[in-house]
Structure 1
Amino acid sequence: MTQSGVAFGTSGARGPVVAMTDAVCFAYTAAFLQHMASVGEFAPGTPVALAGDLRPSTPRILAACVAAIQAQGGVPVFCGYVPSPALALHAFSVKIPSLMVTGSHIPDDRNGIKFNRIAGEVLKPDEAGIKAQQVAMPAGMFDAAGALLLPQALPAVLDVTGEYVQRYVRFFGANALRGMRIGVYQHSAVGRDLLVTLLQALGAEVMTLGRSATFIPVDTEAVRPEDVALARQWAAEHGLDAIVSTDGDSDRPLVADEQGEWLRGDVLGILCAHYLGAQCVATPVSSNTALEKSGWFAQTPRTRIGSPYVIEAMQTALQQGLPGVCGYEANGGFLLMSAMRVEGRELAPLPTRDAVLPMLAVMASARARGCTVSALLDALPARFTCSDRIQNFPTALSQARLTALQTGSDSEQRQAFEQVFGEVSGTVSDLNATDGLRATFANQEVIHLRPSGNAPELRCYTEALSAQRAAEINLAALRVLATWRDA
């Protein structure tokens, strides 16, 4: 790990493609399986499911992972190029370990491997267990650059998409979206065709849009300006009720309303949890505070950013006997810890990030109420968020800058933050260091700074009483952050 620079981020091992050699990916996979053996979830002969996204480097990395599974005595089960939650649903249902080769939303010069235990994602204690493994690298398997010397063929594909589609057809019903005209922004998302199949199975008329043969890094927390323009154009041209899309591995949703305006992922999470009748909703500290202000939920635990932390909070809620437990991230990925019942239909838990559930819940809710998707937002308190990031911002520099703002007493820290951002939002009333540094101002505006766990980026989350103001604050804060990087 030290030699390659490939490390665990907020959701799996990530790194530049050039650093993720076959040998590095082999070692990570072997270490994962050795750790699974130590907790009783892997032994020689155990099947191990794996799948990947559509990045150019993914097939090569999958081949290295297959070699590691075989070297550990496991049986690789290749599920093809499918969404991360579809792979997880299958592996959880048959109780076998699994891994997904994906870099999620980041550019395709980077990639990653996301690992799952037999019933859920690996959590932070598992990451420590994986890091502690001593892996014996087979002699004669790799060249000096870390490439496999012999080509490794991938096994025949086991199709797991059918059970994923049927999970939602059974729950929502075959007429849930009948009469709706929905655009699917396909770009290079691995679930682009599956999403069309699912929407049609729920009765929708589907129009495919923007399919790409090259990888496009769609980030649901920082939607590209060109995607903002495209959604508005498509909505106007085609008379769509909604537009849906996902990130690269199709575990984070994008939903646009009938006007082509993309909804924030944390707003999707609130609306989905309400549709399901959830009682306890866990979400990171960066998510919209409309969650609490809505008054819809009995418990709303806040966590650090990353699905492992949301899962830990949900597990704690279950241990406390709380009913109706779910969670979501600001990127829109929804995690279901408890079985939920709506109109007599039950949806089984799926405790990993999923893009399909929140988008279907919002569209089905709009159809059932006979209203537009945008009208659903009227029931929420007027809290609006915006997020973006400064790219090519070294993580060490980000951390040093934030540490400098957290020196001294509480009042001294607030004053230090005001010195940097006071011209943007005024007086700081509260600082929260749960993850990064989140400042709440006296005027109820929020500026939250956090180094990315997956790439050399400094993310900025803002919240205000209007969408325009949240965007203004974000842009102003990014200008300040750019001076940090360029100083």
Structure 2
Amino acid sequence: MAAAFGTSGLRGPATDFTGRVCMAYVTAFLERCGEASGRTAYVGADLRDSSPRISGQCLAAIKAAGWTPVWAGNVPTPALAAYAMARSAPAIMITGSHIPETYNGIKFYRPDGEFLKDDEAPVRVRAEAILAEGRDVAAIEPGAPLADVAGSYVRRYVDAFGPDALAGLRIGIDLHSAVGRDLTAGIFEGLGASCHAFRRVEHFIAVDTEALDPDDIARARKIISDEKLDAVVSTDGDGDRPLVIDETGRQINGDVLGVLTSRLIGTKTVVTPLSSTSAIEQSGWFETVARTRIGSPYVVAAMASATLHPVAGFEANGGFLLGDDVVLAKGTLTALPTRDAILPAVASLVLARKEGLTLSALAATLPPRFMKADRVKDVAADKARIFLGEIEMSRTFRRNFDARVADPIEISTLDGVRMAFANGDTVHFRQSGNAPEMRIYVETGSVEATDTLLGELIEKLQSAF
């Protein structure tokens, strides 16, 4: 699989991000940006082994294009995006997000926000032309960060929520190899929480907040019990997807975090993909709920057309997109229309404290709908297309796969194949846009039923591939 645009950004095997590829795509991207503020572009990266090399190649490509490259360091994707957007400058994040370490990616940010689907084709065509010319670059050593992106990100939340927002709470911080691990701890401590940090590792771990390793849950549950914690908080590798585990040791799904965050900040319009729980509509908390395909560019595009404000978006992975400035307890939190992990983690705890509830009790105020996802790895795109075609068109195929999915009352092909059933359950199959994986999303009326159905369907998917 060569480097190509996926659900969000350019993704592929790390070895595919050569000097020539970085030169071509970075040059094409900067041309797409036009004459941005000062012709300055910011670059950040996650902690993958391949990220320093790719970062150096992108810095060199920016310089070769006649722009000024600014190295932001190893910072979360939303931290880099917020800093660059505030300066009307483009940004480039080197990250493979939650996919395996052997892969990596380049995520582009225009001076005015996310790189959208409409940007992909022109940049790809131009990049292919530059590749044909044979241009190449030698990597620049990134060195020390040249901008205080990290400090700006911490101040963003402490200044808006205030230093006592989480006073009295004991929060565990699962550090692992998340690029913003120390910033996460700094933010929660800055908000008044007492933090217990654990599991700092030096090798990269691909943490997928939608398909969490059971060992991660078991570890967090034990630490919550041993340390008497109110929650455990973490993120994926590049800090744009939250992980929140409540005081009982159960993960709060990302879309639930999104609903709670939207409620706290007074959102009127919610934009979210098909994979998010139907409890959003059933809650009655929002005036408008718009559904999209999976991927933050689709969410951003739909947010731009909203007529009722404030508008916010989120995905089932928990990444929260803030479309408008909002006034909070101590200050204004400025708009950040790209996936962010910190806001939903903080906001859910602030709301629980405000309501005098535990996190688990707060989550239980939502209608009882439970969505969970899993994946089968190493699924070739051609095989995935055949499977999705059969599951959509053939009742016989569905019945042979699993009798419970034989007779949906509705089938949507907006993104993969999503089937709704008479009992209210949904089953959604889609090929990942970022990695060769088949994903499945299951929603039912109870945690146990969701876990059971998802587990049994995953076994059948594994057999099918």
TM-score where L is the length of structure 1: 0.92
Q: Identify the match of residue 28 of structure 2 among 3, 27, 31.
A: 31
1:30 CA drift (Å): 1.3
> 2: CA distance between counterparts of 1:289 and 1:151?
47
SS of the residue 1:79 aligns to = strand
Match of 1:428?
A: 408
SS of the residue 1:14 aligns to = strand
Match of 2:244?
A: 255
Match of 1:72?
A: 65
Match of 1:152?
A: 140
> 2: CA distance between counterparts of 1:393 and 1:473?
21
> 1: CA distance between counterparts of 2:280 and 2:383?
32
Match of 1:410?
A: none
Q: Identify the match of residue 450 of structure 1 among 430, 437, 442.
A: 430
Q: Given that residues 59 and 139 in structure 2 are in contact (C-alpha distance below 8 angstroms), is that contact kept between their aligned partners in structure 1?
A: no
> 1: CA distance between counterparts of 2:400 and 2:112?
45
Match of 1:358?
A: 344
Q: Given that residues 190 and 250 in structure 1 are in contact (C-alpha distance below 8 angstroms), is that contact kept between their aligned partners in structure 2?
A: yes
Q: Given that residues 425 and 473 in structure 1 are in contact (C-alpha distance below 8 angstroms), is that contact kept between their aligned partners in structure 2?
A: no
Code of the residue aligned with 1:349 in structure 2: it is A
Q: Identify the match of residue 392 of structure 1 among 362, 378, 382.
A: 378
Code of the residue aligned with 1:31 in structure 2: it is A
Code of the residue aligned with 1:51 in structure 2: it is G
Deviations 1:247-280 (A, max 9, x none): 0000100001112211111111111111111010
SS of the residue 1:132 aligns to = helix
* Superposition RMSD in Å: 1.8
Q: Given that residues 426 and 442 in structure 1 are in contact (C-alpha distance below 8 angstroms), is that contact kept between their aligned partners in structure 2?
A: no
Code of the residue aligned with 2:274 in structure 1: it is V
Q: Identify the match of residue 18 of structure 2 among 9, 18, 21.
A: 21
> 2: CA distance between counterparts of 1:5 and 1:119?
29
> 1: CA distance between counterparts of 2:446 and 2:47?
37
Q: Identify the match of residue 199 of structure 1 among 179, 182, 188.
A: 188
Range with greater deviation from structure 2 (163-172 or 74-83) = 163-172
Deviations 1:141-198 (A, max 9, x none): 75xxxxx5x5522254122112211111121111000000000000000000001111
Match of 1:314?
A: 303
SS of the residue 1:260 aligns to = coil
1:136 CA drift (Å): 4.0
> 2: CA distance between counterparts of 1:461 and 1:141?
43
Identify unmatched segments of 5+ residues in structure 1: 143-147, 408-412
Q: Identify the match of residue 468 of structure 1 among 430, 448, 463.
A: 448
Match of 2:363?
A: 377
Match of 1:52?
A: 45
Deviations 1:351-404 (A, max 9, x none): 010000000001111122222111101210010111100001112211121123
Q: Report whether the alignment pairs 1:245 with 2:234.
A: yes
Match of 1:328?
A: 314
Q: Given that residues 80 and 159 in structure 1 are in contact (C-alpha distance below 8 angstroms), is that contact kept between their aligned partners in structure 2?
A: no
Q: Superposed, which structure 2 residues align to 1:120-139 within 5 Å?
A: 120-133=113-126, 135-136=129-130
1:140 CA drift (Å): 9.4
Identify unmatched segments of 5+ residues in structure 2: none
1:26 CA drift (Å): 2.0
> 2: CA distance between counterparts of 1:428 and 1:421?
14
> 1: CA distance between counterparts of 2:256 and 2:358?
15
Code of the residue aligned with 2:218 in structure 1: it is A
Match of 1:117?
A: 110
Q: Higher relative contact order at CA 8 Å, sep ≥6: structure 1 or structure 2? A: 2
Residues paired across the two proteins, number: 463
SS of the residue 1:133 aligns to = helix
> 1: CA distance between counterparts of 2:368 and 2:189?
34
Q: Given that residues 23 and 135 in structure 2 are in contact (C-alpha distance below 8 angstroms), is that contact kept between their aligned partners in structure 1?
A: no
Match of 1:172?
A: 161
Change in Cα spacing, 1:140 to 1:342, as seen in structure 2 (3 Å) is closer
Change in Cα spacing, 1:277 to 1:416, as seen in structure 2 (3 Å) is farther
Q: Identify the match of residue 297 of structure 1 among 275, 286, 289.
A: 286
Q: Given that residues 363 and 373 in structure 1 are in contact (C-alpha distance below 8 angstroms), is that contact kept between their aligned partners in structure 2?
A: yes
> 2: CA distance between counterparts of 1:380 and 1:482?
33
Q: Superposed, which structure 2 residues align to 1:329-348 within 5 Å?
A: 329-343=315-329, 345-348=331-334
SS of the residue 2:126 aligns to = coil
Q: Given that residues 57 and 139 in structure 2 are in contact (C-alpha distance below 8 angstroms), is that contact kept between their aligned partners in structure 1?
A: no
Change in Cα spacing, 1:406 to 1:137, as seen in structure 2 (3 Å) is closer
Q: Given that residues 231 and 261 in structure 1 are in contact (C-alpha distance below 8 angstroms), is that contact kept between their aligned partners in structure 2?
A: no
Q: Given that residues 424 and 477 in structure 1 are in contact (C-alpha distance below 8 angstroms), is that contact kept between their aligned partners in structure 2?
A: no
User: Identity, % of aligned pairs?
Assistant: 45
Match of 1:276?
A: 265
Match of 2:392?
A: 406
> 1: CA distance between counterparts of 2:329 and 2:78?
24
Match of 1:145?
A: none
Code of the residue aligned with 1:161 in structure 2: it is A
Q: Given that residues 418 and 427 in structure 2 are in contact (C-alpha distance below 8 angstroms), is that contact kept between their aligned partners in structure 1?
A: yes
Q: Superposed, which structure 2 residues align to 1:209-228 within 5 Å?
A: 209-228=198-217
Q: Report whether the alignment pairs 1:11 with 2:4.
A: no
Match of 2:457?
A: 477
Q: Report whether the alignment pairs 1:234 with 2:223.
A: yes
